[in-house]
């Protein structure tokens, strides 16, 4: 029953908004705001047709590749920085400098270095995703319970065993918070990176539709982008709920008590 209630709450508002859009746009003669029925027709014909393989899949591959690179690099570096204070003191000024640079600003520089092929787009996504994951991982590792740390030290649990059984489990809620933020950033940067010298991808296709005044296809591309983001978020929540089942169970027990 609880699962059904959460599902209804999750899909209720989108259904209401789409219904209102459908009703209020029906019969619209505005060139820039066509009826939702026309947009849905374009979505089915184009984005679930030839564009699925030509534009959606390439975008998805770039997004997941850049996100995976950022996750591995940021979690590894975050564990090291959170564990060793000297390393944190040395790297913190440099990391704060790079974190303050908006990822879209580095696109022209990366185009000069990597060209306009997939490598540039993947690096842009990885660069932007790194910071929320890195900062949350660092803070999660630093916040490991001191009593548990002392206990591990007393029992001479160190190295890989300490990392596996103490540090990563204790920091995992914070790490997943960073991964969730990084996923949102990845979707945004996927589109931005495809606006520069691309020949395929969601961002490229949406801009091409806008420039050719194919307005229904442009709106359909935006709907496809939102649908992709929703599905990725849903998949992430499923992974998180399984990985952090112990944590969510502990929080429910604390609230019940």
Calculate the alpha carbon distances from 234 to 10, 38, 197, 222, 228 in Å: 10, 27, 31, 18, 10
Q: How confident is the model at residue 9 (pLDDT cuts 50, 70, 90)?
A: low
Q: How confident is the model at residue 110 (pLDDT cuts 50, 70, 90)?
A: confident
Predicted pLDDT of residue 1: 56
Q: How confident is the model at residue 72 (pLDDT cuts 50, 70, 90)?
A: very high
Predicted pLDDT of residue 94: 87
What pLDDT, in 10s, does the model give residues 139-173? 999 988 888 888 888 888 888 888 888 899 999 99
What percentage of the chain exceeds 90 in pLDDT? 44
Q: What is the mean pLDDT of residues 124-137?
A: 94
What pLDDT, in 10s, does the model give residues 53-64? 889 999 999 999
Predicted pLDDT of residue 171: 93
Position 198 in a domain: yes
Predicted pLDDT of residue 141: 93
Predicted pLDDT of residue 257: 62
Q: How confident is the model at residue 7 (pLDDT cuts 50, 70, 90)?
A: low
**DSSP 8-state assignment for residue 27:** T
Position 78 in a domain: yes
Q: Residue 161 sits in a domain of what CATH number?
A: 1.10.3720.10
What pLDDT, in 10s, does the model give residues 200-249? 899 999 999 999 999 999 999 999 999 999 899 989 999 998 998 888 78
Predicted pLDDT of residue 66: 96
More confident residue, 253 or 243: 243
Predicted pLDDT of residue 235: 93
Predicted pLDDT of residue 231: 92
Rounded Cα distance, 50 and 48, in Å = 7
Position 135 in a domain: yes
What percentage of the chain exceeds 70 in pLDDT? 95
Calculate the alpha carbon distances from 27 to 16, 181, 205 in Å: 19, 39, 26
**DSSP 8-state assignment for residue 101:** S
Which pairs with CB-CB distance under 8 Å and at least 24 residues apart come from 96-104? 98/131, 99/131, 99/135, 103/127, 103/128, 103/185, 103/189, 103/192, 104/189, 104/192
**DSSP 8-state assignment for residue 166:** I
Residue recorded with tokens 């931005």: 192
Position 27 in a domain: no
Mean pLDDT score across all residues of the chain: 88
Q: How confident is the model at residue 6 (pLDDT cuts 50, 70, 90)?
A: low
**DSSP 8-state assignment for residue 115:** T
Neighbours of 55 (CB within 10 A): 25
Domain that holds residue 182: 56-256
Count of positions (residues) in the chain: 257
What pLDDT, in 10s, does the model give residues 34-44? 999 999 999 99
Q: How many domains does the chain have?
A: 1
Q: What is the mean pLDDT of residues 88-103?
A: 86
């Amino acid at each position: 029953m609880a699962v059904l209630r959460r599902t209804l709450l999750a899909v209720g508002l989108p259904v209401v908004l789409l219904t209102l859009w459908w009703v209020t746009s029906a019969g619209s003669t505005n060139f820039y705001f066509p009826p939702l029925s026309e947009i849905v027709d374009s979505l089915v014909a184009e984005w679930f047709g030839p564009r699925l393989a030509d534009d959606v899949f390439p975008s998805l591959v770039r997004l997941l590749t850049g996100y995976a690179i950022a996750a591995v690099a940021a979690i590894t570096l975050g564990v090291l920085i959170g564990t060793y204070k000297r390393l944190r003191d040395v790297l913190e000024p440099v990391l704060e400098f790079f974190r303050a640079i908006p990822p879209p600003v580095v696109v022209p520089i990366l185009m000069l270095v990597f060209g306009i092929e997939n490598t540039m787009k993947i690096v842009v996504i990885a660069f932007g995703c790194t910071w929320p994951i890195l900062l949350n991982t660092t803070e999660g590792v630093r916040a490991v319970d001191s009593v548990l740390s002392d206990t591990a030290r007393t029992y001479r649990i160190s190295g890989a065993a300490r990392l596996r059984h103490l540090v990563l489990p204790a920091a995992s809620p914070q790490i997943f918070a960073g991964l969730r933020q990084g996923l949102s950033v990845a979707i945004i940067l996927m589109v931005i990176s495809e606006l520069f010298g691309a020949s395929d991808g969601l961002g490229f296709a949406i801009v091409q539709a806008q420039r050719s005044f194919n307005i229904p296809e442009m709106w359909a591309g935006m709907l496809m982008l939102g649908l992709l983001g929703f599905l990725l978020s849903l998949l992430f929540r499923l992974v998180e709920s399984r990985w952090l089942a112990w944590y969510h169970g502990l929080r429910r027990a604390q609230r019940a008590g």
